[in-house]
């Protein structure tokens, strides 16, 4: 008890334990702040409040049963988590999935990216005091969740991909629903932009806040929108295409200044690009089976594999080690984008004011489920 009080009065500095129960830490993140008035002298993220030992659990589960655990990593983007794991497993086992399965996967993953970005926009805007975008984005996110429900029965923890394909074909009428939604989405995104993009207060709160240069971003190992916001054109879908992303046309939006506003614009554009990908996938959706021929009990050979996908938050990688004839991973390490992106937080907020920290936490778009694992 005496320790915090000693630091409290030293040199007019104040220590503030920000979280783990706090409205704007997006989960159970705790940040120890050293403050001089409202100025942040130092920040130290403390994690581990949501640690569930997921990586250890992988070692006890047969390969197909690892997939539900991946749902719970980035719990707002379950489909891309599933995708990361199955892509890694297929690479390890040398399975080629049927084209229809790959296209369905891409549709699900891009819808998931849109829904994740919508959630990010909602919480980011509410952190900066704009409460209305939250309800608008949730209106659109709801429809995506409805589509997921129509496809696999679940809305959040989807468990919707299998090693070798996807568990179901698209139900009747699903393509039309999705197509209709994708046609409407750009208008909705324009609606959010009218509320925020040109708003003077929004610009004041985001331009020049949480700046990170391209070199620093690469040094920290940032991926996803935080990296692209700094002007680095790096997207796993382009540089190491998986599924059938090499057949699809889309742009990688990048920013210039590496500040919160640029990352905001990058994510807004990513939603439009995702819609474009879904549109192309729906138009070209091939016929055929949705599962490759995969044995009922999957047995691996001795080996190790690393494969990554572009999750909404950045590069999501799975490093899986297997032993001969094993039915479960010997070791599985997850490279979660949020965990690596969070490292940059102290650098981005040092010397700035407390409200900027909310902007930075929001713009990093972290999910504690995959940080603590």
Partner 1 sequence: MDQPLYQFIVIPLVKIVVILGVLSLIVAYLTFFERKVLAYIQVRLGPNRVGPRGWLQPVADALKLLVKEDLVPGGAQKFVFMLAPALIIVPAFLVFAVIPFGPATRLFGLLPEAIPPYLTDVNIALLFVLGISSIGVYGIILGGWASNNKFSLMGALRSGAQMISYEVPMGFAIISVLLMAGSLSLVKIVEAQQSSHLWFIFPGLLGFGIYFICGVAETNRNPFDLPEAESELVAGFHTEYSGMKFAFFFLAEYTNMLVVSSLATVLFLGGWLRPFPNVAWLGFLGIVPPFVWFALKVAGFIFVYLWFRGTFPRYRFDQLMHVGWKWLLPLSLANVLLVGLIVLLVKG
Site residues, partner 1 (CB under 8 A): 14, 16, 22-24, 38, 125-132, 134-136, 139, 195-196, 199, 201-202, 204-205, 353-358
Q: What is the DSSP string of 83-135?
A: HHHHHHHHHHHT----HHHHHHHHHHHHHHHHHHHHHHHHHHHHHTT--HHHH
Paired strand residues for 321: 304, 331
Please provide residue 15's backbone torsions phi and psi, each rounded to the nearest 5 degrees: -100, 135
Choice between 152 and 348, CB closer to partner 1: 348
What is the C-alpha to C-alpha distance for residues 49 and 69, in angstroms, rounded to an integer? 18
Work out how close the CB of 315 gets to partner 1 at its nearest, in angstroms, rounded to a whole number.
28
Work out how close the CB of 341 gets to partner 1 at its nearest, in angstroms, rounded to a whole number.
20
Choice between 129 and 171, CB closer to partner 1: 129
How far is C-alpha 172 from the geometric centre of its chain's CA atoms? 29
Q: Is the CB of residue 228 less than 8 Å from the CB of residue 269? A: no
What is the C-alpha to C-alpha distance for residues 198 and 279, in angstroms, rounded to an integer? 28
Cα–Cα distances (Å) from 207 to 5, 121, 330, in that order, read 36, 16, 46
Work out how close the CB of 76 gets to partner 1 at its nearest, in angstroms, rounded to a whole number.
18
Q: How many helices (H) and strands (E) does the chain have?
A: 16, 6
Work out how close the CB of 275 gets to partner 1 at its nearest, in angstroms, rounded to a whole number.
21
What is the C-alpha to C-alpha distance for residues 58 and 66, in angstroms, rounded to an integer? 6
Choice between 101 and 125, CB closer to partner 1: 125
Nearest by Cα to 362 from 90, 119, 46, 57: 119
Choice between 157 and 199, CB closer to partner 1: 199
Taking each helix axis as running N to C, give the angle between helix 354-364 and helix 99-127, from 0 to 180 degrees, rounded to the nearest 10: 170
Work out how close the CB of 313 gets to partner 1 at its nearest, in angstroms, rounded to a whole number.
20
What is the C-alpha to C-alpha distance for residues 355 and 40, in angstroms, rounded to an integer? 10
Choice between 138 and 306, CB closer to partner 1: 138
Work out how close the CB of 121 gets to partner 1 at its nearest, in angstroms, rounded to a whole number.
12
Choice between 133 and 229, CB closer to partner 1: 133
Paired strand residues for 42: 34
Choice between 142 and 176, CB closer to partner 1: 142
Work out how close the CB of 35 gets to partner 1 at its nearest, in angstroms, rounded to a whole number.
9
Work out how close the CB of 137 gets to partner 1 at its nearest, in angstroms, rounded to a whole number.
11
Choice between 4 and 286, CB closer to partner 1: 4
């Amino acid at each position: 008890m005496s320790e915090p009080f000693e630091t409290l009065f030293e040199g007019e500095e104040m220590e503030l334990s920000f979280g783990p129960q706090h409205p704007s830490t997006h989960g159970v993140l705790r940040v120890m702040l050293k403050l001089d008035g409202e100025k942040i002298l130092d920040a130290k993220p403390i994690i581990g409040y949501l640690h569930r030992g997921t990586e250890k659990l992988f070692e006890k589960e047969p390969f197909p049963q690892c997939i539900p655990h991946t749902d719970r990593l980035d719990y707002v983007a379950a489909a891309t988590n599933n995708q990361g794991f199955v892509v890694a497993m297929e690479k390890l086992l040398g399975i080629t999935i049927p084209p229809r399965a790959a296209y369905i996967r891409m549709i699900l993953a891009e819808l998931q990216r849109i829904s994740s970005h919508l959630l990010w926009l909602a919480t980011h805007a509410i952190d900066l005091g704009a409460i209305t975008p939250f309800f608008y984005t949730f209106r659109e996110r709801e429809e995506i969740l409805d589509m997921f429900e129509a496809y696999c029965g679940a809305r959040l923890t989807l468990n919707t991909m299998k090693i070798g394909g996807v568990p179901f074909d698209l139900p009747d009428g699903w393509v039309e629903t999705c197509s209709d939604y994708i046609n409407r989405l750009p208008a909705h995104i324009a609606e959010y932009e009218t509320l925020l993009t040109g708003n003077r207060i929004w610009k004041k709160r985001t331009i020049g806040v949480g700046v990170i240069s391209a070199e620093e971003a690469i040094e920290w190992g940032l991926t996803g929108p935080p990296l692209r916001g700094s002007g680095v054109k790096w997207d796993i879908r382009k540089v190491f295409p998986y599924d059938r992303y090499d057949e699809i046309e889309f742009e990688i939006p990048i920013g210039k200044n590496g500040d919160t506003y640029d990352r905001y614009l990058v994510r807004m554009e990513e939603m439009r690009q995702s819609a474009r990908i879904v549109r192309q996938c729906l138009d070209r959706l091939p016929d055929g089976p949705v599962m490759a021929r995969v044995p009922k009990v999957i047995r691996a050979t001795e080996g190790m594999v690393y494969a990554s996908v572009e999750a909404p938050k950045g590069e999501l990688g799975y490093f899986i080690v297997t032993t001969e004839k094993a039915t479960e991973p010997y070791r599985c390490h997850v490279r979660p984008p949020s965990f690596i992106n969070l490292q940059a937080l102290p650098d981005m907020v040092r010397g700035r004011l407390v409200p900027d920290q909310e902007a930075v936490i929001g713009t990093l778009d972290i999910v504690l489920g995959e940080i603590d694992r």
